[in-house]
């Protein structure tokens, strides 16, 4: 059967066949390499278990000149959302993902419904963002970034 195909389709058939085998082998090797990376650096890909340790320099919010501290009252929620927000907050406090704050700033919390997921806990910082001095950073030149990534094969 293979000889009949060779006669009918010529050398191209053999090249295609061998290229498919090589591609399958490459995929298997890549899968193994990816599994090795995930195994070796598994802790990086896990969800955080608690807040990071205090650092030498804390983040500071600088307000625009003449702006006053913003304190917003919570949004009105249906009872079931209020209970869910309280439950999520309690769980995050116990898991040490958040901590009590003495900050003079406050922003309301909302639950956002995402497709195929549970409600997502979001904090509405719009009012605070309007009052803050934005940090400005230069945008890197894309050619320089591509030069730095030369030869890289795994991205996370």
Q: How many structural domains comprise the chain?
A: 2
Does any domain span residue 8? yes
For 85, the 3-state DSSP assignment is helix
The first and second tokens of residue 46, run together, are 């896990």
**Residue 110, beta-bridge partner list:** 122
Rounded mean pLDDT of 27-36?
75
- Answer yes or no: are the C-beta atoms of 112 and 122 closer than 8 Å: yes
- 90-138 tens-digit pLDDT: 988 888 888 888 877 788 888 888 777 778 888 888 888 888 888 777 7
- What is the reported pLDDT for 16? 47
- Residue 92: domain span: 60-135
The reply to whether 91 and 117 lie within a common domain is yes
Does any domain span residue 131? yes
Q: In three state form, how does the secondary structure of 97-112 look? A: CCCCCCCCCECCEEEE
Does any domain span residue 80? yes
The reply to whether 68 and 125 lie within a common domain is yes
- What is the reported pLDDT for 26? 60
Q: What is the pTM of this model?
A: 0.49
């Amino acid at each position: 059967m293979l000889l009949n195909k060779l006669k009918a389709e010529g050398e191209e058939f053999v090249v295609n066949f061998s290229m498919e085998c090589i591609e399958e082998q490459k995929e298997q090797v890549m899968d193994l390499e990816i599994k090795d990376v995930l195994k070796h650096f598994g802790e990086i890909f896990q969800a955080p278990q608690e807040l990071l340790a205090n650092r030498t320099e804390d983040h500071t919010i600088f307000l625009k000149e003449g702006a006053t501290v913003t304190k917003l009252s919570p949004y009105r929620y249906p009872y079931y959302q209020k209970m869910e927000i309280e439950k999520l907050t309690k769980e995050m406090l116990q898991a040490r993902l958040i901590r009590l704050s003495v900050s003079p700033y406050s922003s309301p919390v909302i639950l956002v419904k995402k497709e195929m997921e549970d409600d997502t806990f979001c904090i509405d910082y719009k009012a605070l963002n309007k009052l803050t001095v934005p940090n400005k950073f230069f945008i890197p030149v894309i050619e320089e970034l591509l030069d730095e990534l030369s030869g890289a094969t795994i991205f996370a």
